[in-house]
Structure 1
Amino acid sequence: MMDPVTDTDFLSRFIGTNLKITTIHGSFQGELFHIDSSRAIILVKVKDLSTGNTLPGAKLFFGNVILKVEIVEETSGHDSQEQGEIKDESGNTPSQDNDQALEPKEVDVPAAQTKKKSDVKIKFSGDEEDINYVLIDQFQPMFGPAIRHLQNQKVLSLAAVALMVSPHGKLCWLQVATKSCVYIFDILLLGPRVFKNGLQMVLEDKGILKVVHDCRWLGNFLSQQYGVVLTNIFDTQVADVYLFWMETGGFLPSRTSTVKESLTRYLNPSPSQVSFLMYKEALEKDNPNIWSDRPLPAAVLKLLSLEVMHLLALRLAMLDAMLADYTLLVDGYLNAHRQGTPDLFLSSESASSELPEVLQQFSKLQQRRREKALKEHEVNSLGFLMRGDK
């Protein structure tokens, strides 16, 4: 028997229709915005019928908590409304016994003001206007080709945004960039199937390097909520701490760096080229629940694309900085041989295996760096150097 509550094809016919949804937690009325393949329903213009309060933004209901779905028809000429249960083509009402493949719990999308695309105005520099991003909020037709493209890469960059970065938060968008394209996955709408249908294989593939800035919270989200274990990570926040340790002769910084600070420090962009991160901060401050807004304005999608795209260039710049000392030593090694006397080439095997003087200079270089760092930075009570914004 067809179950309209969980039959996504059937319910999709009612997009834009006013529905009443009765759940194990209460009754809600609103306009059907989306029904996804994981049997989750999103309503907008939602009213809590138990309190009479209007809930701004969108509300997400998972199939296993829905008891009944009814159409709410407005009666012309007055404010009264008629309600009717949604039935399948055979006249059957929704079954409440089918819980297979349902989500284990309800996750409500916190209140968020729905903004039109014209409400968000963001200006980017000319080069960034041409950024190539692909929005994936359904499994056909782009999801399969996107996964195949990602599986053929050696290096990817990852970024994400969520409602509340905490154990009770909800991952909303996941951005994955290659050299040629940025894919923006709508995790809120696609649900766990986005990982089970291929994205998990990419994220766990040991042959694909993933560039992330601060992998801790994203790793926890993926592991705890979706059973995905990130592997083979280049963390640009960790790399920044390592480079600070190199540059100061062995001191650690008092704090980590933000994405904006890291991009500014290693890529030396113009202020306009990193202004998108300031826009992102302003948007989150103005509307803490913006990542649950659907549809998300194109300008904001572009903003998310820019953040993950720049991580690829940041990694390369950091690798160059990490190899700077090594390159310096090799150059000194080579120059010492070029300038050496004939006796140098006649030395015994045991003598040639001794640490050359040019390599011994590295310890002096580190000492000079420590002395310079102590002059330029204050030391806190833990012995870490206080770093300022750059």
Structure 2
Amino acid sequence: MDPAPSILSCIIGKTMKITTTNGCFQGVLFSVHADRAFTLIKVKDLKTGEAVQGAKLFFGQHVLNVEQVEESKSVGQEVEGETLEERSHILSLTTAQSNQEEPFNALQEIQHAVEPVEESKCVGQEVEGKALKERSHILLLKTAQSNQDEPFNALQAIKHAVDTEEVVYTVIDQFQTLFQPTIRHLQRQKVLSLAAACLKLGHYQKLCWLQVATRNHVYLFDILTMGPGVFKNGLQVMLQDKSILKVIHDGRLLADILFHQYGVTLTNVFDTQVGDVYLFSMETGGFLPQRTATLKDCLIRYLNMPSTHVNFLNVKQTLMKGIPNVWSDRPISATLLKVLALEVLHLLDLRQVMLDNMLADFTLLVNSYLNAPYPGRANALNRTEISCSELPKELQLLCVLQQERRTKALKEYDVNQQGFLTRS
């Protein structure tokens, strides 16, 4: 007989102390997930003594120990000089076998208990209708300046960076109410923009957020909370629909995660990072740049956006280096949600400008083609017959343009050993 149901029923709702690689926390066990993650509510950071707003998710690979805390001896309550360690004890559970009476480590038992749990019981799935609505936390980070040792509030830094723009977004973190109407709305679109936020676990990337934007609205899908069911219940159809164009900046990581972890093949994609390389080659007569451009580079270069409007991308990168699990923490602040929304907000405009630039040479050739001073142009009846096989001089202009651009590029850029142009 499988002991998992009885074991989980014994510990859900109990006050637990969880020791991780990053600290020690105490709270009420809300749920145990199929991928050996734990969700606590009413959480307190035992190191700082501060309460953590909302629920907090703990990944199994970061958990060192799980202990049950006696209900009558809560944290911060002095009991005749007892230390915090003495007020907690290792959770003792018995298996279904009547001949086993020895207690054992709670972490090992929970890990054993969740093994048979079906995949549909995904990370963060709502239990008893409770949603993770509180979305604020403080993130401390040191600046990159070597002469500054004092930490600053990274959340405030990001808030200052995103205050310059307004964006309308909706968070989709449960299957009830909003999910299906949103999926139907997205499937009716012709063009969408995409981005993703991931948690890096060594060489492994875990998808935390998927950002999808239409022309007027951004939808933030909480993949970590909703689990694989988010794709099986509609997102996969939209992502694989060849009639819907998806605009993304450097979609390699997202395409890899979608295919290998969720069986989703991303189709009909316009990648703005590829578009930038293509346009650079056009502008320089066939040369390639020594590196690809960031989203910030492209927004400034093609949309003429002030650097102050895209500073949030810099802060985001710095934040991810200082707090690698920033996108996996739950709850997440409204400021960070706005960062996710802003990341996809301008991709549709960026694609349109890139397309116009890509067609610039074509438009130039067509105008030259149509406006050429053919003999007898003033009188169509006397026009000399035009050969359809001979390449007109007007179309040969393309070679002249390319040669002029190559000559100009060699004056403006340095050429590295691989023959690529070095651009700042």
Partner of 2:225: 189
Q: Summarize deviations over 1:298-334 as a string: whole Å, max 9, x none.
A: 1111011111111111101100110111111111112
> Structure 2 CA distance, aligned partners of 1:287 and 1:180?
31
Partner of 1:24: none
Pairs within 5 Å for 1:91-240: 96=113, 99=116, 101-102=118-119, 115-116=137-138, 120-121=155-156, 122-124=159-161, 128-129=165-166, 131-164=167-200, 167-240=203-276
> Structure 1 CA distance, aligned partners of 2:113 and 2:277?
54
Q: CA RMSD in A?
A: 3.8
SS in structure 2 at match of 1:3: helix
8 Å contact kept, 2:162–2:339: no
TM-score after normalising by structure 2: 0.71
Please tell me whether residue 262 in structure 1 is matched to residue 258 in structure 2: no
> Structure 2 CA distance, aligned partners of 1:184 and 1:230?
18
Which of 70, 73, 79 pairs up with 2:71? 73
8 Å contact kept, 1:38–1:102: yes
Please tell me whether residue 18 in structure 1 is matched to residue 23 in structure 2: no
8 Å contact kept, 1:159–1:174: yes
Which of 348, 357, 371 pairs up with 2:385? 348
Give the percent of matched residue pairs that are identical in Structure 1 and Structure 2: 48
Which of 377, 384, 395 pairs up with 1:359? 395
SS in structure 2 at match of 1:170: strand
Partner of 1:251: 287
* CA 383–338 in structure 1, closer or farther in 2 if over 3 Å, else same: same
> Structure 2 CA distance, aligned partners of 1:352 and 1:139?
61
> Structure 2 CA distance, aligned partners of 1:383 and 1:3?
64
8 Å contact kept, 2:374–2:384: no
Gaps of 5+ in 1: 22-27, 48-56, 63-67, 87-93, 107-113
* CA 331–143 in structure 1, closer or farther in 2 if over 3 Å, else same: same
> Structure 2 CA distance, aligned partners of 1:321 and 1:366?
15
Partner of 2:146: none
SS in structure 2 at match of 1:262: helix
SS in structure 1 at match of 2:193: strand
Partner of 2:314: 278
1:225 counterpart letter in structure 2: Q
1:73 counterpart letter in structure 2: E
8 Å contact kept, 2:34–2:114: no
Shift in Å at residue 356 of structure 1? 1.6
Please tell me whether residue 369 in structure 1 is matched to residue 405 in structure 2: yes
> Structure 2 CA distance, aligned partners of 1:5 and 1:102?
19
8 Å contact kept, 2:34–2:122: no
Shift in Å at residue 286 of structure 1? 2.8
8 Å contact kept, 1:38–1:191: no
Gaps of 5+ in 2: 19-23, 47-55, 95-109, 124-135, 140-152
Partner of 2:39: 42
SS in structure 2 at match of 1:347: coil
> Structure 1 CA distance, aligned partners of 2:246 and 2:352?
13
TM-score after normalising by structure 1: 0.77
Partner of 1:53: none
